[in-house]
A and B are shown apart, each in its own frame.
Chain A
Amino acid sequence: MGKYFTFVGLGLVLALALLLAVVAGDYGPWYFAWMVGTVMIVLIAGCGAVLFDAQHEKGEGEI
């Protein structure tokens, strides 16, 4: 039952995100670009850190 609610909840979030994307894309293209771009910047910075950990787990001591 819990999984079902999570599924429905995530489905609603997805529908809302798509609606927002369509509306923002039409009326506020730069706002939309900011939303997508900011998420991307945050994720890429995060990936950089994870990559750092992976590189150093292999034993590269230099930074």
Chain B
Amino acid sequence: MPLIDPSVVDLSRLQFALTALYHFIFVPLTLGMTFLLAAMETVYVITGKQIYKDMTQFWGKLFGINFAIGVATGLTMEFEFGTNWSMYSHFVGDVFGTPLAIEGLMAFFMESTFIGLMFFGWDRLSKPGHLAVTYLTALGSNLSALWILIANGFMQNPRGASFNPDTMRMEFNSFLKLVFSEDAQAKFVHTSIAGFVTGALFVMGISAFYILRRQHREFAARSFRMAALFGVISSLAVVTLGDALGRLDYLVQPTKIAAIEGLWQDSDAGGSAAAAPWLLFALPDQAAQTNLVEFGIPYVLDPLVAHSFSTNIPGLISLEKQAGPRIKKGIAALNALQAYGKDHGAAALATFKANESDMGYGFLAQRYAPNQDLSKITPANQDAVVAQAEKDTIPNVFVTFWSFRIMMILGFYFVGLFAFAAFFSLKNRLERNPLLLKLCVWSIPLPVLACEFGWITAEAGRQPWSVYRWLPTFQAASSHSVGYMVFSLIGFALLYSVFIAAELYLMFKFARLGPQPHQAAAPEAAPAPMFAAPAE
């Protein structure tokens, strides 16, 4: 099979990265705002106070703008798998397509239907009925994320499928293994809760803006209080789940965790694994396989990553060397597979089965084989091919290291910010702390930034694989022309720039406008019982 033009692969990656990162500007807000709206409406239904209905409706309007403009862009990505990643779709479509289809047919439709009811059902549904709809919208949007993250969990740690040499694709054999994969679970919770943090900071930041301007005080103070409490627990949870994800990476993706930690040598290289420093700052140099400068805290790396004081964490240099024998086995597997394709012989099948688990490593060698043909690799040239392919097993360390650091530092910043915000809100001392309020306003975009860097960590750290240890990214793309890729990339960039401009314009406009005067000035209705008898 000829290799796909590397420029086409790079352009496909760029296009996917741009569309995914763009899409993910909007997703976290949806994941978090919906539950925050549900919390506000719950208070409205229980206390009967009009102000909580106003809050639900106003923040619901901003949520609606975000949903209408941003969330549907996820659909383009589902098509991209078919158009730009057709080899990938062929190879794992059987497995990957299932959660994607469930997402589209069940969760997305559920979310969209209930969103319609949520916006237009205020006068048509009973109070508890409308509340149920708001909860179902929140559940639907988070279930959407769940199925996507199950699909992504498969790419990080393939579970529930096996390769069939007759059809040349991965075939599904366990739905439960796929859905309950630890990676999928931890990813879903980390991402969903990251959305909670985003929603909370959005509401808290805009409320802080009103408090600073002494506008809509009652409205803003209540919104601030709810968002601060929502955020303080969510930010703690996001850090906890981040730790769980890091440990999973250590267990199943050793190259990713070593890149995240900028670890070139094994952690016990200095004599003791326990004493190995956790790097706060480093400038990784991929070519020289070292950090040009580094600064770390001793005795932190091992407990943080391996949850132990005596486990050696393998560094990138030894991981690269460990890939050598796997590449050789992978070459044997692919050559046997080719022979099996011709004669369907038992011997070829047996050789393939013996080396199957390293098949993906064989693909990595194809680039460096004579005429890019694995069957031309001989004992004489094998070592040279393997030595070149080994280098490709390491992800880009600089990008992975720093994107992780930025996400993590922001994570701890959010814990601190929400803790102070909740404290001063509970003490009713917000107006005496304008600096804190200003910080809240300026921090509104930061959770989105943390999410973007989270995805960069997850995806750049997984390289060179699109499906970990099974399919390299450069084998996964479609064989388009460069012209086609450039054209569609420019098209996306232009269209999405218009979308983002429209979103920002509408968000700023409605946020500055604040709750409608009739809403803010509305006298607070007397509390009504939750399940009041209908008027005669």
Select which of B46, B186, B222 is within 8 A of A30 by beta carbon: B186
Q: Is B180's beta carbon under 8 Å from chain A?
A: yes
- Closest B residue to A44 by CB, please name it: B229
Select which of B43, B241, B428 is within 8 A of A60 by beta carbon: B428
Contact present for B180 and A48 (CB under 8 Å): no
Quick one: given A44-B233, A49-B226, are A29 and B185 in contact (CB under 8 Å)?
Answer: yes
Main secondary structure of the interface of A (DSSP, over half): helix
Contact present for B35 and A38 (CB under 8 Å): yes
Stretch at the interface among B116-124, B188-196, B344-352: B188-196
Contact present for A52 and B221 (CB under 8 Å): yes
Contact present for B227 and A45 (CB under 8 Å): yes
Contacts of B374 in A (CB 8 A): none
How distant is the Cα of A29 from the Cα of B42 in the complex, in angstroms?
27
How distant is the Cα of A62 from the Cα of B179 in the complex, in angstroms?
49
- Closest B residue to A24 by CB, please name it: B180
Contacts of B422 in A (CB 8 A): 48
> What string of 1s and 0s marks CB contacts (under 8 Å) between B202-224 and chain A?
00000000010000010011100
Interface residues on B, range: 35 or more
- Closest A residue to B211 by CB, please name it: A63
Contact present for A48 and B35 (CB under 8 Å): no
Q: Is A1's beta carbon under 8 Å from chain B?
A: no
How distant is the Cα of A37 from the Cα of B422 in the complex, in angstroms?
18
How distant is the Cα of A28 from the Cα of B187 in the complex, in angstroms?
12
Q: Which residues in chain A, 15-46, are within 8 Å of chain B measured between CB atoms?
A: 27-31, 33-34, 37-38, 40-46
Q: Is B329's beta carbon under 8 Å from chain A?
A: no
Contact present for B237 and A37 (CB under 8 Å): yes
Contact present for B192 and A34 (CB under 8 Å): yes
How distant is the Cα of A47 from the Cα of B226 in the complex, in angstroms?
8
Main secondary structure of the interface of B (DSSP, over half): helix
- Tell me how far the C-beta of A30 lies from the nearest C-beta in chain B, rounded to whole angstroms: 4
How distant is the Cα of A31 from the Cα of B164 in the complex, in angstroms?
31
Interface size of A in residues (CB-CB distance below 8 Å): 27
Contacts of A52 in B (CB 8 A): 221-222, 225
Contact present for B431 and A53 (CB under 8 Å): no
Select which of B47, B176, B220, B244 is within 8 A of A53 by beta carbon: B47
How distant is the Cα of A41 from the Cα of B179 in the complex, in angstroms?
25
Q: Is B409's beta carbon under 8 Å from chain A?
A: no
Contact present for A49 and B225 (CB under 8 Å): yes
Q: Is B22's beta carbon under 8 Å from chain A?
A: no
How distant is the Cα of A60 from the Cα of B42 in the complex, in angstroms?
24
How distant is the Cα of A50 from the Cα of B47 in the complex, in angstroms?
8
- Closest B residue to A62 by CB, please name it: B428
- Tell me how far the C-beta of A53 lies from the nearest C-beta in chain B, rounded to whole angstroms: 7
Contacts of B188 in A (CB 8 A): 30-31, 34
Q: Is B38's beta carbon under 8 Å from chain A?
A: yes
How distant is the Cα of A48 from the Cα of B42 in the complex, in angstroms?
12
Quick one: given A37-B237, A62-B431, are A45 and B226 in contact (CB under 8 Å)?
Answer: yes
Contact present for A46 and B429 (CB under 8 Å): no
Could you say which of B142, B176, B221 has the most chain A C-beta atoms within 10 Å of its C-beta? B221
How distant is the Cα of A56 from the Cα of B429 in the complex, in angstroms?
13
Contact present for B227 and A63 (CB under 8 Å): no
Contacts of A38 in B (CB 8 A): 35, 142, 192, 196
Q: Is A51's beta carbon under 8 Å from chain B?
A: yes
6 smallest CB-CB distances across A and B, nearest first, come from: A30-B185, A63-B221, A45-B230, A48-B229, A45-B39, A45-B226
A–B complex contacts, Cβ < 8 Å, 24 sampled: A28-B179, A28-B180, A28-B185, A30-B185, A30-B241, A34-B188, A38-B35, A41-B35, A41-B39, A41-B237, A42-B39, A45-B226, A45-B230, A48-B225, A48-B226, A48-B425, A49-B39, A49-B226, A50-B46, A51-B426, A52-B222, A62-B431, A63-B217, A63-B221
Partner-A contacts on B (CB < 8 A) = 35-36, 38-40, 42-43, 46-47, 49, 52, 142, 176, 179-180, 182, 185-186, 188-189, 192-193, 196, 211, 217, 220-222, 225-230, 233-234, 237, 241, 244, 422, 425-426, 428-432
Q: Give 13 A-B pairs besides A27-B180, A45-B39, A50-B43 with Cβ atoms closer than 8 angstroms.
A: A30-B189, A31-B185, A41-B39, A41-B196, A41-B230, A41-B234, A43-B39, A46-B226, A52-B225, A53-B49, A62-B428, A62-B432, A63-B425
